[in-house]
């Protein structure tokens, strides 16, 4: 997503039409992040509407030294994590059990693709920060640095969250495929 | 380089973060280590699948949905800029105050904690009920508002407790039996609590009184409470009937009946048919000025208890019109689902309603008349 800098400037200087146009350009990106973090359409609708309203009212506080796309992702991820924090079990991220967890028949597994529902349900089981990092990496195509800026996390933490999240996803998906319990 | 260290290289390779030298190290290790080769294959595949997740888009334009709210924000900021004195006199119009209040309200306490607030709610309830109708002024309004807030919190607490009990209350309850739960809570809460207070019943008493009240009136009320939610054409197509009348089974309300789809649609149509005659009658009654019991209107329009506003459910929104000026004072952001179950709080400061989503879930919302904001009510 690239928003034209001129549009942002116009919006910041009080051009309401420009601001609305800008919101329209980003709404899908905002929604997509919320959808995969919250794994629920209605919550995602609510969270992204709230994020857009916040962007509307806070556009004046955006500073050019940050990328606009990381600024809006920071707003939407904060809303998702703060306001829609759920008390549901997530897997524990334990490094030891993840490395060379099990021997698998690679060929057999590579042949069958994971079901979309399984992937979503596995993402949903990740702790929220790990989940958020995965969403920004794969749905927003963000780099390590952009994720770090969006979430206000050190670069090494971003890497470690992302790597662990992938390990954990793999373990969960493997379990699903072997008929383990889902959900 | 051991396998553990190679693992990090694998991950960084997936993210396009390796230098040529690092890539060479990774590849040479993988060529000698079948386990790492297998691991890398799996990771690559996982990464590819994650990159291919559907690029979902919202069902309708989110910007369109928030437009009324944005216009309100715009209006408020203009008012503030043009007439700072007016803004200072009416703190409710100050957007910063609104925002702060929103934030505070959204942090609902856990339901167990709300029990402690119930006692405060009783006192506040007294205050509101006994307040002389003539008293006015900003300070008084503020006080009334904040105590209404407390009452609301305690109501919600009691309601949560009620919901906790519902499953154990058994399947004997009618499918529609728990629809009016909320309305009954709202209407009867204060009087019942007063009784309990005099009994020294306290917090636990409050809970008990609400549930017993529900048991008594639940069945009788369910028929009438459903009526207002029905479209002006209650005998209409099964689809139309199903939307407003039948409580869609929600995941967290197991006591609700299991009827779904066409079946429930036709059932609703049948149920609503005999009621349509009654509706006309009620309309007359209402026109002649007779207040229905508990101030609940039996029409598709829902006047507030103080007579200042009329709320009605539209297809994707709730619209509130001022009785005095006839102007629309609030239109909620568009929500994807059938709106219904409108219930005013006893003091007219809040309007509760529900949205029945396509997926079968039910969302509950509360509109605050003091600043025309709405928020999600906990289930």
A139/B55 CB distance under 8 A: yes
What's the pTM?
0.48
Residues in chain B within 8 Å Cβ distance of A27: 58, 61-63
CA B374 from centre of chain: 9
* pLDDT at A178 > cutoff 80: no
Residue with tokens 């009452």: B151
Q: What is the pLDDT of residue B81?
A: 75
B7/A99 CB distance under 8 A: yes
Distance from CA of A64 to the nearest CA of B (A): 24
- B14, B55, B106 member nearest A83 (Cβ): B106
A100/B3 CB distance under 8 A: yes
Tell me, yes or no, if A114 comes closer than 8 A to chain B by beta carbon: yes
Domain boundaries, chain A: 5-83, 95-177
Q: What is the pLDDT of residue B104?
A: 42
C-alpha A51/C-alpha A78 separation (Å) is 9
Residues in chain B within 8 Å Cβ distance of A81: none
Distance from CA of A31 to the nearest CA of B (A): 7
Distance from CA of B236 to the nearest CA of A (A): 29
- B49, B66, B336 member nearest A114 (Cβ): B49
Tell me, yes or no, if A43 comes closer than 8 A to chain B by beta carbon: no
Q: What is the pLDDT of residue A67?
A: 93
The gap between the terminal CA atoms of chain B, to the nearest Å, is 55
Q: What is the pLDDT of residue A157?
A: 96
Distance from CA of A108 to the nearest CA of B (A): 11
Q: What is the pLDDT of residue B61?
A: 94
A31/B3 CB distance under 8 A: no
B11/A159 CB distance under 8 A: yes
A119/B49 CB distance under 8 A: yes
B59/A24 CB distance under 8 A: no
Residues in chain B within 8 Å Cβ distance of A18: none
Positive or negative CA dihedral for B189, B190, B191, B193?
positive
Distance from CA of B251 to the nearest CA of A (A): 13
Residues in chain B within 8 Å Cβ distance of A98: none
Tell me, yes or no, if A106 comes closer than 8 A to chain B by beta carbon: yes
Question: Tokens representing B308?
Answer: 């200042």
- A27, A104, A138 member nearest B62 (Cβ): A27
B62/A45 CB distance under 8 A: yes
A14-23 pLDDT, tens digit per residue, is: 999 999 999 9
B53/A36 CB distance under 8 A: yes
Query: Mean pLDDT per 10-residue run, chain B (379 residues)?
Result: 91 95 96 94 94 93 94 86 57 44 44 52 57 48 50 47 42 40 41 43 40 41 41 41 40 41 41 41 42 46 86 85 85 82 86 80 84 79
B58/A48 CB distance under 8 A: yes
| Contacting residues for B245 by C-beta, under 8 A, at least 6 apart | B226, B229, B230, B234, B268, B271, B272
Mutation site for B-interface testing, chosen from A24, A42, A75, A133 by largest number of B Cβ within 10 Å: A42
Max CA distance (Å), chain B: 91
Question: Tokens representing B272?
Answer: 């609503």
- A48, A57, A138 member nearest B53 (Cβ): A138
B45/A139 CB distance under 8 A: no
Residues in chain B within 8 Å Cβ distance of A35: 56
Residues 5-24, chain A, touching B (beta carbon < 8 A): 16, 20, 23-24
Positive or negative CA dihedral for B330, B102, B139, B183?
positive
pLDDT-derived band at A89 (thresholds 50, 70, 90) equals low
- A113, A120, A163 member nearest B11 (Cβ): A163
Contact of B367 with B353, CB cutoff 8 Å: yes
Fold observed for domain A95-177: Arc Repressor Mutant, subunit A (1.10.10)
pLDDT-derived band at A90 (thresholds 50, 70, 90) equals low
Chain A, nearest residue to B63 by Cα = A24
The one-character DSSP state at B368 is: E
pLDDT-derived band at A82 (thresholds 50, 70, 90) equals confident
Q: ipTM score of the complex?
A: 0.86
Q: What is the pLDDT of residue B36?
A: 94
C-alpha A134/C-alpha A126 separation (Å) is 9
Per the model's pLDDT, the better-predicted residue between A7 and B114 turns out to be A7
A93-148 pLDDT, tens digit per residue, is: 654 444 444 444 444 444 456 788 899 999 999 999 999 999 999 999 999 999 99
Per the model's pLDDT, the better-predicted residue between B319 and A183 turns out to be B319
- CATH class of the structural domain A5-83: mainly alpha
B42/A109 CB distance under 8 A: yes
Tell me, yes or no, if A32 comes closer than 8 A to chain B by beta carbon: yes
B3/A30 CB distance under 8 A: no
Q: What is the pLDDT of residue B206?
A: 39
Q: What is the pLDDT of residue B266?
A: 42
């Amino acid at each position: 997503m690239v928003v034209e800098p001129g549009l942002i400037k116009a919006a910041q200087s009080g051009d309401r039409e420009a601001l609305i146009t800008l919101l329209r350009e980003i709404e899908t990106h905002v929604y997509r992040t919320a959808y995969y973090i919250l794994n629920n359409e209605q919550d995602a609708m609510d969270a992204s509407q709230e994020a857009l309203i916040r962007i509307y009212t806070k556009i004046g506080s955006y500073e050019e030294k940050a990328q606009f796309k990381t600024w809006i992702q920071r707003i939407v991820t904060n809303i998702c994590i703060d306001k829609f924090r759920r008390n549901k079990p997530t897997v524990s991220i334990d490094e030891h059990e993840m490395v060379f967890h099990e021997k698998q028949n690679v060929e057999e597994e590579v042949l069958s693709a994971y079901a979309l529902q399984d992937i979503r349900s596995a993402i949903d089981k990740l702790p929220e920060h790990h989940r958020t990092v995965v969403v920004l990496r794969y749905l927003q195509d963000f780099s390590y640095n952009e994720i770090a800026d969006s979430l206000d996390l050190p670069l090494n933490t971003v890497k470690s969250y992302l790597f662990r999240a992938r390990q954990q996803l793999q373990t969960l998906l493997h379990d699903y495929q072997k008929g383990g319990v889902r959900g | 380089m051991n396998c553990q260290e190679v693992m990090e290289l694998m991950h960084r390779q997936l993210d396009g973060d390796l230098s040529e030298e690092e890539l060479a190290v990774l590849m040479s290790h993988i060529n000698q280590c079948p386990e790492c080769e297998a691991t890398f294959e799996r990771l690559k595949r996982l990464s590819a699948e994650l990159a291919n997740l559907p690029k979902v888009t919202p069902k309708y334009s989110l910007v369109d949905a928030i437009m009324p709210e944005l216009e309100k924000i715009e209006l408020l900021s203009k008012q503030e800029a043009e007439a700072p004195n007016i803004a200072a006199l009416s703190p409710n119009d100050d957007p910063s105050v609104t925002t702060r209040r929103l934030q505070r309200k959204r942090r609902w306490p856990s339901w167990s904690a709300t029990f402690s607030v119930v006692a405060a709610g009783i006192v506040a309830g007294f205050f509101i009920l006994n307040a002389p109708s003539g008293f006015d002024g900003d300070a008084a309004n503020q006080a009334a508002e904040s105590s209404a807030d407390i009452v609301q919190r305690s109501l919600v607490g009691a309601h949560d407790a009620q919901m906790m009990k519902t499953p154990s209350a058994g399947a004997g309850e009618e499918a529609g039996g728990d629809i009016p739960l909320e309305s009954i809570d709202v209407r009867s809460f204060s009087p019942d609590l007063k009784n309990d207070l005099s009994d020294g019943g306290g917090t636990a008493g409050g809970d008990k009184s609400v549930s017993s009240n529900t048991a008594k009136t639940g069945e009788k009320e369910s028929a009438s409470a459903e009526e207002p939610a029905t479209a002006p054409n209650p005998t209409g197509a099964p689809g139309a009937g199903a939307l407003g009348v039948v409580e869609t089974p929600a995941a967290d309300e197991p006591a609700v009946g299991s009827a779904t789809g066409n079946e429930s649609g036709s059932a609703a149509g049948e149920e609503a048919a005999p009621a349509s005659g009654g509706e006309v009658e009620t309309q007359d009654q209402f026109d002649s000025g007779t207040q229905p019991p508990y101030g609940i209107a039996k029409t598709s329009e829902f006047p507030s208890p103080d007579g200042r506003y009329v709320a009605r459910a539209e297809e994707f929104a709730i619209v509130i019109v001022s009785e005095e000026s006839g102007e629309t004072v609030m239109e909620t952001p568009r929500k994807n689902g059938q709106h219904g179950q409108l219930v005013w709080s006893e003091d007219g400061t809040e309007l509760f309603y529900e949205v029945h989503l396509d997926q079968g879930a039910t969302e509950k919302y509360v509109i605050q008349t003091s600043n025309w904001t709405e928020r999600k009510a906990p289930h």
